[in-house]
Amino acid sequence: MEQVLHNLLLNAAKHTPEGKRITVTLACADDLLLIEVSDSGPGFPAEELAWVFEKFHRLSNSKTGGLGLGLSIAKGFVEAHGGEIQAENIPDRGGRISIRIPVENKLINSATDE
């Protein structure tokens, strides 16, 4: 999961103008760990949203560099943990990638008991 977060934050940093905000939100609800990384960039081109997690796909608004593997690798790790990953645009605010990963009740309870 460390690699997933690294890839999501790197991607957000590449697409967020200097001085603008990247937001990371974490929550646990209904036996799910919820992670959201939102940026203040241009968002995902609507016609390419379905391809964001495809190997070697680089968005048309991408800066030079990179192979187009970061989000694909993130998706693979999230799915290997039984989770889901989704990309969406936030109107007038940029893009957001959301992750939902199942967690065991005993892990949630032990974390809140301490």
Q: Is the pTM of this model over 0.85?
A: no
pLDDT at 43: 87
Q: Tell me: the pLDDT tens digits for 62-94?
A: 655 555 678 899 999 999 999 999 999 998 889
**Maximum mean pLDDT: which of 32-36, 38-42, 69-73:** 32-36
Topology of domain 2-105, CATH: Heat Shock Protein 90 (3.30.565)
Distance separating alpha carbons of residues 73 and 3, to the nearest angstrom? 8
Beginning with the edge strand found earlier in the chain, give each strand of the sheet holding 32-38 in spatial order: 23-29, 32-38, 94-102, 84-90
| Partners of residue 28 on adjacent β-strands | 33
Whether the predicted pLDDT of 25 surpasses 60: yes
